[in-house]
């Protein structure tokens, strides 16, 4: 097999993932060879993959320092201060051989910005000062936000940071469609009283300690649940991936077929500005009609169009794929077409019957002039280890988080077995 080699930067001061490093600086070469089977992944020609770590537990979102160390936010049974793992490669082969941990809380969100590591539990957000080598200087950290709503449904508090000292936190709705009573035929609450404290993105200061819910600004609303989000440094805008609603046929069998239930609504990418309303629970986006449609709980019949006051998505994906990670690629390792485009990690569906379950892959969305082109492609697949009959329980791996390395390689986490993948390019 022809060997592919890439290079990693070493010995630099830790910096924001979004500063994306100075690729013109000399780097110390370290041979990194993809696994013979590309870690089981199917990738475009010229790409290879290796497993950086395996079996570490429920690995959610990830962040990579300029030195190439990986911080992983863990979720599940946290013990012995391992809510945040640090993976270090001491011999330069691309595989982590030293694992340390801090923090005794579950959660999903993690990011690096301006010399700090930010991490979230399902209720709070913390930050940890990084030293010049990218190590956590004080394991105790500082709490910057506390008391975020957690109803144990869509509880993850994913985060993103902008260029102006703000941090954005998802607060997912603890409801599918804001019904008056759970069950078939129940109308939706008008107005939906969940939206005062959930179902949107809240903005806080990233440099202020001990903020509470009331200190935050409701940046955008009408978003059922956002797990993947990223700040686009090219356009200076926040992009998010929404998990769409479920159970159209189950709740309204006279209006929607089982196929409707499988195909609708779309999983949507939105670009947000302050004050935007994406319309949940009053509308959903129909990928076949390419329209915002009034939800049946609010008098819709599957055809009635929703109000123009709600923003349109910038891209729509198939239903129920569960987009859990979003990353804008700014590195120089991959071919030019990937520059400033977006990678999306889809965790995979459970409710597309009678159609096959779908997702369980990472896709790429080309961007031009700060906007998606309307064409997306599967970039990395093969995570499930199965050709057919995939379910969340049977899938070997389920993609969750994305991060960019200092050399421009792409890191992917998955939370079934706890594998961290690294994708590199050495094609011609």
Per DSSP, 212 falls in state E
- C-alpha Rg value of the chain to the nearest Å: 21
The kind and range of the H/E element at 259 are helix 258-263
Length of the chain: 428
| One pLDDT digit (tens) per residue for the chain, 428 residues | 333 333 333 333 333 333 333 333 433 333 589 999 999 999 999 999 999 999 999 999 999 999 999 999 999 877 678 999 999 999 999 999 999 999 999 999 999 999 999 999 999 999 999 999 999 999 999 999 999 999 888 999 999 999 999 999 999 999 999 999 999 999 999 999 999 999 999 999 999 999 999 999 999 999 999 999 999 999 999 999 999 999 999 999 999 999 999 999 999 999 999 999 999 999 999 999 999 999 999 999 999 999 999 999 999 999 999 999 999 999 999 999 999 999 999 999 999 999 999 999 999 999 999 999 989 999 999 999 988 889 999 999 999 999 999 999 999 999 999 999 999 998 85
- What is the CB-side half-sphere exposure of residue 328 using CA atoms within 13 A? 26
- What is the CB-side half-sphere exposure of residue 423 using CA atoms within 13 A? 23
Please name the residues in contact with 206: beta carbons below 8 A apart, sequence gap of 6 or more: 113, 114, 116, 118, 127, 144, 161, 165, 166, 167
- The answer to whether 49 touches 424, Cβ cutoff 8 Å, is yes
Q: Give me the residue label for tokens 């791996």.
A: 397
CA 329 to chain centre: 14
Q: Could you tell me if residue 239 is left (phi over 0), alpha (psi between -120 and 50 degrees) or otherwise beta?
A: beta
Q: How far apart are CA 306 and CA 289, in angstroms?
A: 12
β-pairing verdict for 58-64 and 47-53 = unpaired
Q: How far is CA 396 from CA 40, 120, 307, 382, in A?
A: 11, 26, 42, 9
Q: Give me the residue label for tokens 């910057």.
A: 144
The helix/strand count (H/E) of the chain reads as: 2, 30
Per DSSP, 124 falls in state -
Please count the other Cβ atoms lying within 10 Å of the Cβ belonging to residue 379. 24
- The answer to whether 362 touches 377, Cβ cutoff 8 Å, is no
Q: Return phi, psi of residue 336, to 5°.
A: -60, -30
- Nearest Cα neighbor of 370 from 239, 258, 274, 253 is 239
- The answer to whether 4 touches 20, Cβ cutoff 8 Å, is no
Q: Is the peptide bond before 372 cis (omega within 30 degrees of 0)?
A: no
Burial (0-12, 13-18, 19+ Cβ within 10 Å), 182: exposed
Buried residues in 394-403 as b, exposed as e (16+ CB within 10 A): ebbbbbbbbb
**Which tokens go with 119?**
């991490």
277 strand-pairing partners? 221
Torsion angle, alpha carbons of 177, 182, 186, 191, to 10: -50
Burial (0-12, 13-18, 19+ Cβ within 10 Å), 387: exposed
pLDDT value of position 31: 55
Which CATH class, in words, describes the domain spanning 17-425?
Answer: mainly beta
pLDDT value of position 244: 97
The domain ranges of the chain are: 17-425
Secondary structure (DSSP) of 348-370 = --S--TTSPP---EEEEE-EETT
3-state SS, residue 19: helix
Q: How far apart are CA 106 and CA 269, in angstroms?
A: 26
Q: Give me the residue label for tokens 């329209």.
A: 291
């Amino acid at each position: 097999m022809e060997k592919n080699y890439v290079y990693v930067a070493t010995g630099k001061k830790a910096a924001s993932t979004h500063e994306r490093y100075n690729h013109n600086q000399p780097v110390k070469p370290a041979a990194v060879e993809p696994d013979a089977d590309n870690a089981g992944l199917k990738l475009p020609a010229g790409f290879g993959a290796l497993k950086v770590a395996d079996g570490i537990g429920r690995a959610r979102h990830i962040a990579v320092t300029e030195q190439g160390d990986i911080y992983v936010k863990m979720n599940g049974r946290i013990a012995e201060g391992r809510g945040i793992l640090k993976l270090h490669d001491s011999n330069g082969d691309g595989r982590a051989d030293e694992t340390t941990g801090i923090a005794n809380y579950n959660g999903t969100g993690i990011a690096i910005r301006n010399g700090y590591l930010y991490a979230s539990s399902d209720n709070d957000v913390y930050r940890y000062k990084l030293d010049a080598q990218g190590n956590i200087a004080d394991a105790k950290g500082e709490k910057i936000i506390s008391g975020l709503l957690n109803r144990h449904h869509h509880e993850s508090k994913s985060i993103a940071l902008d260029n102006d000292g703000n941090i954005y936190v998802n607060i997912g709705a603890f409801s599918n469609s804001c019904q008056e009573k759970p069950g078939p035929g129940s109308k939706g609450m008008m107005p939906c009283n969940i939206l005062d404290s959930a179902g949107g993105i809240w903005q806080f200061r990233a440099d202020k300690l001990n903020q509470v819910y009331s200190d935050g600004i409701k940046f955008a609303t009408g978003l059922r649940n956002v797990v993947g989000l990223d700040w686009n440094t090219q356009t200076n805008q926040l992009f998010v991936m929404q998990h769409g609603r479920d159970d159209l046929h189950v709740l309204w069998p006279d209006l929607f077929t089982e196929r409707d239930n499988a195909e609708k609504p779309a999983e949507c990418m939105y670009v947000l500005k302050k004050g935007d309303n994406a319309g949940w629970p009053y509308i959903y986006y129909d990928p076949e009609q390419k329209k915002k449609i009034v939800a049946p709980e609010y008098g819709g019949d599957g055809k009635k169009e929703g109000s123009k006051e709600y923003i349109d998505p910038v891209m729509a994906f198939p239903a129920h794929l569960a987009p859990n990670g979003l990353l804008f690629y700014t590195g120089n390792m991959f071919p030019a077409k990937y520059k400033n485009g977006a990678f999306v990690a889809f965790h995979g569906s459970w409710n597309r019957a009678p159609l096959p379950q779908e997702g369980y892959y990472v896709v790429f969305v080309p961007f031009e002039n700060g906007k998606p082109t309307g064409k997306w492609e599967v970039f990395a697949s093969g995570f499930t280890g199965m050709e057919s009959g995939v379910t969340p329980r049977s899938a070997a791996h389920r993609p969750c988080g994305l991060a960019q390395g200092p050399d421009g390689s792409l890191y992917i986490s998955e939370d079934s077995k706890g594998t961290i993948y690294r994708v590199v390019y050495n094609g011609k």
